[in-house]
Structure 1
Amino acid sequence: MPRLLHYSDIENVYDDPARVARLAGRIRELDGEDALVCGSGDNTSPGVLPLVDRGRQALDFFDAVGTDVSTFGNHDFDYGPAAARSLVADAPQTWVSANVRDEDGGRFAADHVTPYAVLEADGDSVGFFGVTDPATPSLNPMAADLAFADPYEAAERAVAAIRDEGADYVVALSHLGGGDDELARRVDVDVVLGGHVHSERRERVAGTLLLRPGVNGHAVYEVELGDDGAEATRRETAGAAPVAAVESRLRGRIEAAGLNEVVATVETPIERSDQAVHRGECRVGNFVADAYRWASGADVGLQNSGGIRDGPAISGEVTLKDCISLIPFEEPLVTVELTGRELTRVFSECSSATVDFGEPDWWHGHVSGASFVLDEETAAVLEARVGGEPVDPDATYTVATSDYVLHSDHEFPTIEESHRVGEGDILHDVLAEYARECGVSPEVEGRMRRVRGAPADDD
């Protein structure tokens, strides 16, 4: 019976060449004539090295593990459609996408990408199709010129075509995140190899096995296809024998980029995991928001949680590379003007945003210069202050945030392009300059809280 080796959302892993080498080593160890290596998106970006190499560092990894088939995630378009087309043309694997459309409405990179493909393994035929979150143009400004068709209708067409070809098994490569449940209900597939959401998942929906291996290559799934259904085993990458050639090539790329300048030191390590960033106020979120407010002189600094990338704790000497790895996007700091009434809605959206790449209890923002208390059940703002003073609904406040926030309607939809009043430096440059001038010593201060009902009276 054929096996599948599934990785997804490896993103920042390229900034740690030793970890990339172990990930590659584990996949090589598990690979064989009966196996197909599969990627389900966000495997080229973001990160420091992806930013420097425009995602092309992924080619070293793809070649090393012999990836057989891949689809796109939203971050695979971080450097624009032309860069994505170039990378796809040079990559060794088959690329499948049933719902990504080019600037002219045709299939994206039609010479190198197909809606589905049927591959052979261990004497059986396995059909693959790919679908990507249709919200990608909102999530990624660099994909704004592309179109993303309804993924479920596209999946239905692809599955019908694969079945017509007589494939023994059908596999979805999905970067829909929370949409995987609907996908499992709409189409008859043996397994959904998912991504987009960074938490791991292994469960069945409508009789279909749904998998997510998590972020940054800590694990891969080994999937066995069979007549009685698909079965999956999680395989840790820690402890795997590294592929030395991959580690050497990536280290060379990092050294050539000259990113080792020390900008500050940290006495107490600062956690930056998804678990920390999305669970409420945290030190790294405060550091980023404080830097935005300091650089702009705005009343409030605001950072979306998803923009802070998962990685090892920041400790000891803080380098330029560390600052870039936190916010590895070439976008500027912007200043917007909001009324107090609008700002209060933004505070609520720090907790109440509903996005298909998140979990229900996630916090979606971090603030500086402000504090607020939310009702745990309704996300209603029970108390809000800026500069220690209650927010005046009719007053005007300045907020420093990322350019992405103005573009996206999925996080902080209250903030629109019409609110823009200024623009500053690239985000990671702001972090580096703040670190040089002010140091890196953030603390948790009670800026954001959830309570049940009315907050306690402090008097």
Structure 2
Amino acid sequence: MSPRVLHYSDLENAYDTPDRIARVAGLLADRRAPDALLAGSGDNTGPGVLSLVADGHQSLDFFDAVDPHVETVGNHDFDHGFDALESIVEGSPQQWVLANVRLDGERFGAAAGVDPVTTVPVDGATVGVVGVLDPATPDMTPGTDALDFADPVETVEEWAPRLRERGADHVIALAHTTDDDARSIASETGVDAVLAGHSHHQHAGVVDGTPLTRPGATGQYVYEVDLESGDVILHEPQEADPAPDVESALRDRIATEGLDEVVAHVDTPLSRDRERRLGGEWRLGNFVADAYRWKTGADVGLQNGGGIREGPPLSGAVTVADLVSVSPFEEPVAVASVTGTELRSVVREADGRHVDGLKDYWYGHVSGMRVAAENGGYVPYVDGDAVDPADRYTVAVPNYILITDLEFPTLTEDHAVEHDDLQYEVVVDYARECGIDAPLDGRIPDAAARE
């Protein structure tokens, strides 16, 4: 038989919906056979609600049931610090691989069992595996500044022939990287397949004869790659039977932590899909931005689209876990003081076309402000008046926005004038006090007006 790879990635907050992650486990169990290698390409320990309270160790319920062969590290696997991740590595059954990251001059995680590469016997064949991580991780994940990165494409190019020298019949790369780097790995390094994570845009293709798969986020899809033929099959785990042990273990964790408390009700479901999150005005984005402004009294609330996680819609009885999963990061809400000129710049940067490295999406959700498309640009209005370049305004934001230049680079730590509670605590408190009524009321121009 030809070796197959079952590829999952970016499970993230799927753990917060036990039935969902249990179905991923169920599908992998159904497809498992002597000719199959199970591989994860990062962000499979978090972020999420259970990840917050368990420092990512809730993933062991899944890993123990699935018994994967190999796993690489994603940027969010560092959310709870180096020690927490190394503890998960030591406690999980799979071999972890990461070849392009060092800490204090040593390969990250070497003492815990992380290797740069590995080989796996699969039904008479040998599959070599190398793992690499996006060098922009320190810009995205607080607490990772001490990590040093080698170029992921060059790293795979170095290791692929060495794995073949070790007897690998096939070589695959687990690439928790940008799309550009994943495609370059596929076209330049001689691997037989690239199993990519990081971006939540689910797709599969062939790059210069090399299959490249990216399953997207939250366990919606699993890819199966035939390493002889290059054929790729897309599986939808939510159609599989759930693994009962995984589901019960995670439900027990949720109940033990009090995360199943109902705090509000929603009659019309609030979508959490990618298209709405990054496509313009969005009810859930409005709700979160409203919560920040309610808590802080700032003139404006601003939530970055990338800071809200995808998942099932908020519908009916909404629990603490549901709300924390919207933005499950241990980041305070910060209040920034900006000039009118800076606020206008921030609004312009909400359009991804104006920020280097972002795509044609809308990245900002606002409260207390209306954005109008005028004269080929954007004009923000606060309290009904156009923002005066010479005035000052306060903006409540996730603290992450102030420490990264990937989104809203105008805002920096120097703008901070106060810090409040953690952002998910603010959202939960707001829902308890005010409910979840988040209409669309014309805060952001529609896509046609932005052209």
- TM-score, structure 2 normalization: 0.95
Q: In the alignment, is residue 347 of structure 1 matched against residue 347 of structure 2?
A: yes
The one-letter code matched in structure 2 to 1:293 is R
* 1:87 to partner: Cα distance: 0.8
Q: 1:406: which partner in 2?
A: 402
Q: 1:161: which partner in 2?
A: 162
The one-letter code matched in structure 2 to 1:368 is S
Partners of 1:398 and 1:105 lie apart in 2 by: 42
Structure 1 gap ranges (5+): none
Q: 1:115: which partner in 2?
A: 116
Q: 2:233: which partner in 1?
A: 233
For 1:55-454, list aligned pairs within 5 A. Answer: 55-102=56-103, 104-111=104-111, 112-178=113-179, 179-226=181-228, 229-352=229-352, 360-374=359-373, 381-449=377-445
Q: Secondary structure at the match of 1:194?
A: strand
For residues 400-455 of structure 1, what are the alpha-carbon distances to aligned partners after superposition, in whole Å with 9 as ceiling and x for unaligned? 00111111111111111111110000111101111122221011122122567899
Please tell me whether the aligned partners of residues 373 and 450 of structure 1 are also in contact (alpha carbons under 8 angstroms).
no
For residues 162-198 of structure 1, what are the alpha-carbon distances to aligned partners after superposition, in whole Å with 9 as ceiling and x for unaligned? 1322311110101113221222233111111011111
- Structure 1 window deviating more from structure 2 (236-245 vs 126-135): it is 236-245
The one-letter code matched in structure 1 to 2:236 is E
Please tell me whether the aligned partners of residues 2 and 225 of structure 1 are also in contact (alpha carbons under 8 angstroms).
yes
Please tell me whether the aligned partners of residues 347 and 381 of structure 1 are also in contact (alpha carbons under 8 angstroms).
no
For 1:13-32, list aligned pairs within 5 A. Answer: 13-32=14-33
Partners of 1:267 and 1:451 lie apart in 2 by: 27
Partners of 2:267 and 2:80 lie apart in 1 by: 35
* 1:270 to partner: Cα distance: 1.0
The one-letter code matched in structure 1 to 2:161 is A
Please tell me whether the aligned partners of residues 339 and 397 of structure 1 are also in contact (alpha carbons under 8 angstroms).
yes
CA RMSD in angstroms, aligned pairs only:
1.8
The one-letter code matched in structure 2 to 1:105 is G
Please tell me whether the aligned partners of residues 7 and 221 of structure 1 are also in contact (alpha carbons under 8 angstroms).
yes
Q: 1:46: which partner in 2?
A: 47
Q: Secondary structure at the match of 2:212?
A: strand
Please tell me whether the aligned partners of residues 372 and 449 of structure 1 are also in contact (alpha carbons under 8 angstroms).
yes
Q: Secondary structure at the match of 2:186?
A: helix
The one-letter code matched in structure 1 to 2:416 is R
Please tell me whether the aligned partners of residues 298 and 335 of structure 2 are also in contact (alpha carbons under 8 angstroms).
yes
* 1:214 to partner: Cα distance: 1.4
C-alpha spacing 1:337/1:381, structure 2 compared with 1 (3 Å):
farther
Q: Secondary structure at the match of 1:302?
A: strand
* 1:263 to partner: Cα distance: 2.1
C-alpha spacing 1:101/1:354, structure 2 compared with 1 (3 Å):
farther
Q: Secondary structure at the match of 2:253?
A: helix
Query: Sequence identity of aligned pairs in percent?
Result: 48
* 1:148 to partner: Cα distance: 2.3
Q: Secondary structure at the match of 2:174?
A: strand
Partners of 2:356 and 2:212 lie apart in 1 by: 19
- Structure 1 window deviating more from structure 2 (78-87 vs 310-319): it is 310-319
Partners of 2:116 and 2:141 lie apart in 1 by: 22
The one-letter code matched in structure 1 to 2:182 is D
- TM-score, structure 1 normalization: 0.93
For residues 339-395 of structure 1, what are the alpha-carbon distances to aligned partners after superposition, in whole Å with 9 as ceiling and x for unaligned? 111111111111126576x6x22222211111223589xxx6332212221011121
Q: Secondary structure at the match of 1:443?
A: coil
Partners of 2:315 and 2:169 lie apart in 1 by: 51
Partners of 1:245 and 1:62 lie apart in 2 by: 12
Partners of 1:146 and 1:82 lie apart in 2 by: 14
- Structure 1 window deviating more from structure 2 (178-187 vs 131-140): it is 178-187
Partners of 2:143 and 2:88 lie apart in 1 by: 15
Please tell me whether the aligned partners of residues 373 and 451 of structure 1 are also in contact (alpha carbons under 8 angstroms).
no
Partners of 1:59 and 1:382 lie apart in 2 by: 47
The one-letter code matched in structure 1 to 2:235 is R
The one-letter code matched in structure 1 to 2:31 is L
Partners of 2:342 and 2:159 lie apart in 1 by: 44
Equivalent residues, number: 447
Please tell me whether the aligned partners of residues 281 and 444 of structure 1 are also in contact (alpha carbons under 8 angstroms).
yes
- Structure 1 window deviating more from structure 2 (142-151 vs 425-434): it is 142-151
Runs of 4+ in 1 over 6 A off after TM superposition: 451-455
C-alpha spacing 1:397/1:113, structure 2 compared with 1 (3 Å):
same
C-alpha spacing 1:96/1:259, structure 2 compared with 1 (3 Å):
same
* 1:231 to partner: Cα distance: 1.4
